[in-house]
Amino acid sequence: SKSSRATAGRSFFSATMTSKVAKLQRACLRNPVKVEVSAKYSTVDSLKQNYLFVPAKHKDCYVNYLFDELSASTTMVFTRTCDQTRKLALVARNLGFGAVPIHGQMSQPKRLGALNKFKSGERNILVATDVASRGLDIPAVDVVINYDVPQNSKDYVHRVGRTARAGRSGLAVTLVTQYDVELYQKIERLIGKKLEAYNAPEEAVLLLNERVNEAQRIAANQMREADA
């Protein structure tokens, strides 16, 4: 009827307000009322957030130390590049950990296959780039590790939001090298809190050095063979 058409309304929802979303909003809606849940970037209280200051040359030792410490947990690891995602997953697998990668150079079937291994519990570590993880149905995880500090501080909030969902507790650990301090400080300013240091004794971590170096060498060969 005329009256029902006149009173019909439209609702438009988005997790983030990007320029593309704003353009779509203008095309679809007339004089919309805008409701924002929160303009502030915040993290939930049930999330324990730690940083771990690491020398860049020993970064893989530290992340694999964490994999060993947190072996009973489901863990999602964020990296900056596709190559880093591939390499880290291979190094972890060469050390005996159940890691699978998801990155933009994978076909959609391979990406979904890796995701299903993680969701089914066949693998407990998922290594991903920010872009590859978007839009995927990834279950809540126990731990988020930021192998690379995100260059956009807002990505930190999206990453750690993969854990501590629905009132559950969760852990996020960010590896900070000597080159990442400024990016890390931007994150603390954005979320309005100081992160606590994660306890990882250097002597215990560096006991892994020889095994990690060998795993890195094997991973480099595996990547060369795959790309040949």
**Residue (of 180, 116, 182, 190) closest to 160 by Cα position:** 190
Q: Please indicate whether residue 195 or residue 72 has the higher confidence score (pLDDT).
A: 195
Residue 33 has what pLDDT? 73
CA distance to 68, 69, 85, 205, per residue, from 211 (Å): 13, 16, 19, 11
* pLDDT confidence bin for 79, thresholds 50/70/90: very high
- DSSP code for 140: P
Burial class (CB in 10 A: 0-12, 13-18, 19+), 100: buried
Per-residue pLDDT band at 40 (split at 50, 70, 90): low
Least confident interval from 30-44, 64-78, 120-134, 159-173: 30-44
Q: What is the pLDDT of residue 38?
A: 47
Q: Which residues contact 153 (CB under 8 A, 6 or more apart)?
A: 41, 183, 186, 187, 189, 190
Among the four given CATH numbers 3.40.50.300, 3.30.2350.10, 3.40.470.10, 3.10.180.10, the one describing domain 47-227:
3.40.50.300
Sketch the domain layout of the chain as residue ranges: 47-227
Q: Which pLDDT band, with edges at 50, 70 and 90, does 44 fall under?
A: confident
pLDDT digits (tens, 9 = 90+) for 153-207: 999 999 998 888 877 889 999 999 999 999 999 999 999 999 999 999 999 999 9
Say yes or no to pLDDT of 76 above 80: yes
As beta bridge partners, residue 53 has 176
Mean pLDDT of all residues in 128-156: 89
Confidence of residue 39 (pLDDT cuts 50, 70, 90): very low
Tokens of 38: 């929160």
Strands 196-197 and 47-53: parallel
CA 94 to CA 159: how far, in whole Å? 26
Position 8 pLDDT exceeds 80: no
Degrees to nearest 5, angle at CA 174 with 61 and 189: 150
Query: What value does the mean pLDDT take over residues 36-65?
Result: 84
Residue type, 156: Y
Nearest to 138 by CA among 157, 174, 163, 104: 163
